[in-house]
Structure 1
C-alpha cells in the first residue's frame, strides 16, 4: 500500500458561508405593520382600552330639514380624515335616551366605515358641529386622550400600512363588512410618546390646512372668472378703450361648417408622424383652447386637416349636455377625426377662442339645437342657427387675453395643489412609519387628540 502523506488544506475563503445581513436599517425592526423604529410599539386598537361602538338603525324616522348633524359614509373621504359636510343630513330626536348617548360624537372621535366601502377613516375635529350622530355603517372609536393621540391613529389607519388590513378583508370575496371585534383587533404602530404622536399629527394637519386654503382659493378664483366671463362675453362690461354696439348674427352668416373623417382609436399611434384629435378627447382632454395635442397617428391620407382658429365640437354623445363643448385649435394640419364638427371662420372677423367661450357660456342655446333620444346629435345645419353678439375682432382678442390669463392663474393654483398632495403623500410615508423623526423636545403641541 502506498503510504504517501495526504495533506489536508483549509477550505478556500471563496467557498465560505456568510450570514445574510438584516434588511432593516440600524435602529429599526420588521413588524406586521412594516419596518418601524425600535422604540415604536405595535399594539391593537383594543389594547388601548377605547370605547368602541357603531351607529343605530332606524334613524330615518328622525330625518328633518334642521336639527343635529347625522354623519353617513358619504361624509367621509379617502383623501383625508376630515369630514365633508357639503352633503349633510340632519335628525331631530325629541328624547335622545341611552341609544342616542351611545352614538353621540365627541371631539377627537375616530370613525371607520364598516360596511360596503370599508376602511374609510374620519376624525371629529372642531369643524364638526355637535351634537352629531352616526348611522349603522360607521364604527366609533374613542381613545383615552391621556394614552394615545387619536388623530395620529386616524392618519395611520387611513393611509399606507394601516389600509392593508382593510384591503385584505375586502379581498376575501365575501360581502364587505367588519364587526367591532375586528375593529378592536386592528394593528397600530405607535411612537413612544404622546408628544411625538401629536407632533406628527400636527405636521400632517398643517399640510391639510394648506390644501383646504388652496381649495378655497381655487373656488374663489373660479367664481370670479365665471362672473367676469359673463360680463365680458355679453358686453355688460367693456374693457378700457372699447365702445360701440356689438353686431348680432347667426353663426351661419360668419362661418363655414365641416366634419372630420375616420380616425378610429385603433389608428392612434404614440409614435405616429402626425398630430391628431379623436372626437372623444374633446370631452375629457381639451378646454376652450387647444395649444398642444396629445395624440398622434401614422396615416394622414384623405383625412380632414385643421386650420388654425378652427372651433371643434363633438357631434354625438349619450347625454345632450356633453355636446356643449367647443375648443379652438391653434395649429394647422392636425388630423381631425370623425364625429368632430369643424366651425371655420376668418380670424380677421371672428376669434375662434372667443367663439369657443361664447358657445360654452351659452350651453342652453346649444341644447335647444341638439336632436335625438337615446344618442344625441349636433350637426352643422343646427349650429348655423346659433345666434350671438360680437364686438370688433380687436376687442374679441383682448377679451380672450383677459379670460385666458384668469384661466392660467386658476391652473397655476391647481398645479400648486397637486404638488402639495404629492408632498403630503411623501410626508405621510416618512412620518407614519418613523423613517423621518420629528424633534419634539422643545415643542408644545396643543393638538387635540
Structure 2
C-alpha cells in the first residue's frame, strides 16, 4: 500500500523539506554515499582464477570467470572504476572483483539493495574524470549526496518493492527469449526443403534494388518512413516503393533483414527488393533471416553486400504461393506474440522507472504497518 503526500499552498508540499537533492520527506535525511558505505578497489584475479572455482570473478561487463577464493562475502554495491561506469551491480553472495570494478562495504545501518537502486538512479557519466576511457574516482562517489529513509526497515521495504519489479522484468525477458528460440526452431523446420520444393536463385524470385539519397524528399511532416540499416531515420514526402518488400543492408549492418508492406523510402546503404509474381514477400523475409549474410560479405572494412551476389544465392521454394503464404502466416503469428510480450516488457520497465522516481525520493511512502 502507498500513501500519497498532498501539496499545500506553498511551493513545499506538506510534510516535505527542500534539500540539495530536491524535495524529500521531513523525516528523511541527505547524506554523502560515504556515510553509508566505503568504496573498495578490486584486485587482479591472476592468483585466484580457477576453472573449478566456486566464486564469480566480476568485471565491468559482468562475470568473466571463477575464483577459488572470494574477495568479499557480504551484500555489496559494485560500480565500474574504468570502462563501463554506468551499470551498477548488486551482489549478496561471495565474489571476486577485478581492478576495474569497485565494490563496497556497506555499513550495517543501511540496506545494500536500497543503495544499489540509488546507484542505478545516478547519471554516472556526469562524474566521469577522464577524457578517454570513462573513469570514476572512489572519493567522488563517496562525496555524492543521496536521500535516505529514517529506518532500515523502510529502506528494505523500498528495495523489496523494486526487487519484485526486477523479478517481473526478468521473468518477462526469459519468456521472450524462450519464445524467440521456439520461433527460430519453427522457422528452420518450416523453411527446410520439402518434397516437391524447387531450387531457384533469389534472382529468379526477386530483384534487388538500390536505395537513394533522401535529401530531396526528407520532410518532418512526411507520410513515409525513411529507412536505413539501423531502422527509421526520418520521414519523406514521397515513397520510393509501395509494395511488400524485403530489405537488407548494402553497407554497414548487413545481417538484419527488414520486411515492409507499406510505402517507404530507402537510403543508399539499404537494398530493397521487388518481388516477382507468384512469390510471397513475407516468406522470403523469413528465408532471409536464416541466411548467414556475413559469409557473403565483400569488404575487409565496413561489411558490404553486392546485389548480384544476393541474387545468385540458391534456395528451395514451395511450388505454390498458397504454401508460402501459410508458412509466412504461421511465423508471423509468432512474431505478433513476441511483439506483444515486448510491449508488456516495455511497460514493466516504465513502471519500474516511475517507482524508482517516487520511492527513492519519498514522494510515495510504503505502509510498513500493513499486515498480510
Instruction: Give the alignment's TM-score, normalised by structure 2.
Output: 0.84
Q: Deviations over 1:406-425 (max 9, x none)?
A: 01111111111111111111
Q: Deviations over 1:384-431 (max 9, x none)?
A: 322111112111111111101101111111111111111111111111
Equivalent residue, structure 2, for 1:291: none
Question: RMSD value over aligned CA atoms?
Answer: 3.1
Q: Distance in 1 between matches of 2:271 and 2:84?
A: 42
Equivalent residue, structure 2, for 1:64: 50
1:80-119 to structure 2, matched below 5 A, reads 85=63, 88-92=64-68, 103-106=71-74, 108-118=75-85
1:5-404 to structure 2, matched below 5 A, reads 22-48=10-36, 50=37, 53-56=40-43, 58-67=44-53, 68-75=55-62, 85=63, 88-92=64-68, 103-106=71-74, 108-118=75-85, 120-125=87-92, 128=93, 130=94, 132-145=95-108, 147-159=109-121, 163=122, 166=124, 169-170=127-128, 176-179=135-138, 181-235=139-193, 245-255=196-206, 257=207, 259-260=209-210, 262-265=212-215, 267-272=217-222, 275=224, 277-278=226-227, 280=228, 283-285=229-231, 295-298=234-237, 305-306=240-241, 308-314=243-249, 316-318=250-252, 322-331=253-262, 334-338=264-268, 340-347=270-277, 349-363=278-292, 366-375=293-302, 377-391=304-318, 392-404=320-332
Residue 371 of structure 1 aligns to a residue whose secondary structure is coil
Deviates more, 1:213-222 or 1:166-175: 166-175
Q: Deviations over 1:112-136 (max 9, x none)?
A: 33345546432213xx5x3x21223
Instruction: Give the alignment's TM-score, normalised by structure 1.
Output: 0.71
- Label 1:32 to 1:360 Cα distance change in 2 as closer, same or farther (>3 A): same
1:433 alignment partner, one of 355, 361, 370: 361
Q: Greater strand share, 1 or 2?
A: 2
For the 8 Å contact 1:276–1:337, the answer to whether it is kept is no
For the 8 Å contact 1:55–1:133, the answer to whether it is kept is yes
For the 8 Å contact 1:250–1:388, the answer to whether it is kept is yes
What stretches of structure 2 of length at least 5 have no aligned partner? 1-8
Q: What is the number of residues matched between the two proteins? A: 361
Larger radius of gyration: 1
- Label 1:352 to 1:192 Cα distance change in 2 as closer, same or farther (>3 A): same
Residue 434 of structure 1 aligns to a residue whose secondary structure is coil
For the 8 Å contact 1:259–1:339, the answer to whether it is kept is no
What stretches of structure 1 of length at least 5 have no aligned partner? 1-20, 76-84, 94-99, 237-243, 287-293, 445-449
